[in-house]
A = this chain, B = another copy of it.
C-alpha cells in the first residue's frame, strides 16, 4: 500500500501552546510505518502575539493555507488580553466559523481502572449561539445597555445532533468489538434551557429530537437535561453519560466542567470538526503561569492529535495513540506536575512514544 500523505497545519499560538504542539507533531511522526501514514507539516501563525506583531490575531494566510493545502491541523492555545483590546478577538472562534468546523468534540474519559470510571463525549455546536458575536451598546437615561444575539438554527442543530448520534453509534461499535466501556448501550443526552428560551433552545431541542429520531439511530437512547441540572448531574452521576450534545455556550461550559472530573485540563483533548477537516485542540489555555518551564502536560495535545485522526478516518492510528497515553497514565510513573508528578513535558512525550 502506498503511504497516504496528508498535510497538517501546526498552530502553536501563545504560552504553552508553543510547548505542546511540538509534542503533537512528534507523536504523529512516530506512528508505526505499518499504518502507511506519512505527514507533512506547515507552521502557521495565530494568537495574541501574532496580533501584536501583525495587527491580526488570525492572519488571512493561516486560513488560506489551511483551506488550500491541509486536511487538518493542531491548534495550541491563545492568550486572552486581560482587558478588551480593540480589534482583538479569539482566533480559534474565528477559525471554527471560517472553516465551518461545526462540531467541537470533547471526550472526557478516565482510565478504566480508575475507582469511578467516566467515559463521555461532549459534542458542542461550534458555529452559532452567542458565538455569532453580534453585539451592540447604547445609552439610556439609566446608563449603558449592551445586547448580544443568541442565534440557533435548525440546520446547525440538526447536523450537530446527527453527529452526536453517529458518535454514539461509533462508540457502541468499538465497545462491541471488545473495547472497554462502562456503558451498556448508546445514549445521547440533549442539553438546553428551553424552559426559559422556548424559541431558541426550543428549536435546538425539537430539531435534535427529530434528527435523532432517524431510523439509523434506532438503537440510540435519547434523553434531555436542562443545562443547570445537567451541570448538577455531571458532578453527581458522571458515569451515567455517554454522548452529550449542546448548543455552543452550554457546550463550552459543560466541557470545562467535565474536564474537572478527570483531575486536570491537561488531559482533555478536543477536535473541531467539519466536512473532511479536523483541528485537534487541547482544552487547556495558554497557561502563562507555567509557560517556558517545560512542564506543560502534553497529553491533551497528544489525544487531540488522535482525535483529529479519528475524524479523518484514521481510526487505527488514533487507537494506537490513545492506548499509548492510557498505558502511561495507568503506570503513573512519568506524570507532569498537574497530575502530581515531576516529569517534564519531553519526558512524558518520550515515555508515550516508547509505548506506541
Contact = CB atoms under 8 A, between A and B. Distances in A.
Given A131-B196, A231-B231, A148 B150 contact: yes
Contacts of A252: 193, 228
Interface stretch (A174-182, A256-264, A328-336): A256-264
A115 interface: no
A275 to B, nearest CB: 15
A267 B71 CA distance: 51
A222 B68 CA distance: 47
Contact of A256 (B130, B146, B231): B231
Given A146-B202, A147-B200, A232 B265 contact: yes
B153 A142 contact: yes
B193 A146 contact: no
A147 B148 contact: no
A222 to B, nearest CB: 13
A319 interface: no
A154 interface: yes
Contacts of A227: 253
A145 B137 contact: no
Given A144-B153, A155-B143, A137 B196 contact: no
A234 B265 CA distance: 13
A219 to B, nearest CB: 23
B135 A197 contact: yes
A70 interface: no
A97 to B, nearest CB: 12
Contacts of A257: 228, 231-232, 235, 257
Given A197-B135, A256-B231, A260-B232, A154 B130 contact: no
Most buried by B among A140, A145, A193: A145
A320 interface: no
A345 to B, nearest CB: 21
Contacts of A265: 232
Nearest to A93: B196
A199 interface: yes
B89 A203 contact: no
A151 interface: yes
22 contacts: A93-B196, A130-B150, A130-B193, A130-B196, A133-B198, A142-B154, A143-B155, A144-B154, A145-B154, A145-B203, A146-B151, A146-B152, A146-B153, A147-B149, A147-B152, A227-B253, A228-B255, A228-B257, A231-B253, A231-B260, A233-B260, A235-B260
Interface of A: 80, 84, 89-90, 93, 130-131, 133, 135-137, 140, 142-155, 158, 193-200, 202-203, 226-229, 231-236, 249, 252-253, 255-257, 259-261, 265, 285
Given A130-B193, A135-B199, 8 more contacts: A89-B198, A93-B196, A140-B153, A142-B154, A147-B150, A147-B200, A228-B256, A257-B257
**Nearest 9 interchain pairs by C-beta:** A143-B154, A135-B199, A235-B260, A228-B256, A231-B257, A146-B199, A80-B195, A146-B200, A232-B256
